[in-house]
Amino acid sequence: MATNKPQVEVRRRFAAPPEKVFAAFADARLITRWLSPSPKIALTPLRFEFREGGTYRFAYGLEDGKTVIVNGTYILIDPPSKIVFSWIIEPPDEHAGIESEVTVAIKPDDGGTELLIQHKKLILTDAIVRHAAGWHGALDQLAAALETEKQHDR
């Protein structure tokens, strides 16, 4: 049946302490300096209410002059360890209107920090992306991966 497991997952270790990593998500001035896929894509926060129930609206200026707007609500904020927010791209984007949810987990790790970002609310795993074009065997792996994750998910 429908599973709610993470679809997109990025994990990274930083030398900086958890408080600094958390601050990078919490401060409007700081997010503009990193929360985009590349330095060439500028983030302009149109709204940024970093509190539970608060909303945000980010404009991303792409290289070709187009703008992509993303909005969402901060669902959970637990400093300095966890942030959960919804993530919806606005029209006319091709992926507009798909409701998804981002979970940010910030853990102390040997003097530094381990950051885990999971973008959830979808059902596929990336196994399907890698094999979308040339498919054979991909679904076996996918099914096996889902089974394994199911056991881990408890």
Partner 1 sequence: MIAAQTKLIYSQLAMQRAANLNRTFRALADGTRRSMIHALAQGEAQSASDLGRRFRSAQPTISKHLKVLEQAGLVKRTITGRVHRFRLHQKPLQEAGGWIARHQAFWTGAVGQLDQLLAKGVDDGDK
Burial class (CB in 10 A: 0-12, 13-18, 19+), 58: buried
Cβ closest to partner 1, residue 10 vs residue 46: 10
Verify binding: residue 97, partner 1, rule CB under 8 A: yes
Shortest reach from residue 131's CB to partner 1, in Å: 9
Distance CA 8, CA 102 (A): 9
Shortest reach from residue 119's CB to partner 1, in Å: 5
Shortest reach from residue 128's CB to partner 1, in Å: 6
Verify binding: residue 91, partner 1, rule CB under 8 A: yes
Percent composition of the chain: helix, strand, coil (DSSP 3-state, to 5): 25, 40, 40
Write out 92-143 in H/E/C secondary structure.
Answer: CCCCCCCCEEEEEEEEEECCEEEEEEEEECCCCCHHHHHHCCCCCCHHHHHH
Shortest reach from residue 17's CB to partner 1, in Å: 10
Q: Which residues bind partner 1 (CB under 8 A)?
A: 1-3, 7-8, 10, 12, 14-16, 20-21, 23-24, 29-30, 33-39, 91-98, 100, 115, 117, 119, 122-124, 126, 128-129, 132-133, 135-136, 139-140, 142-143, 146
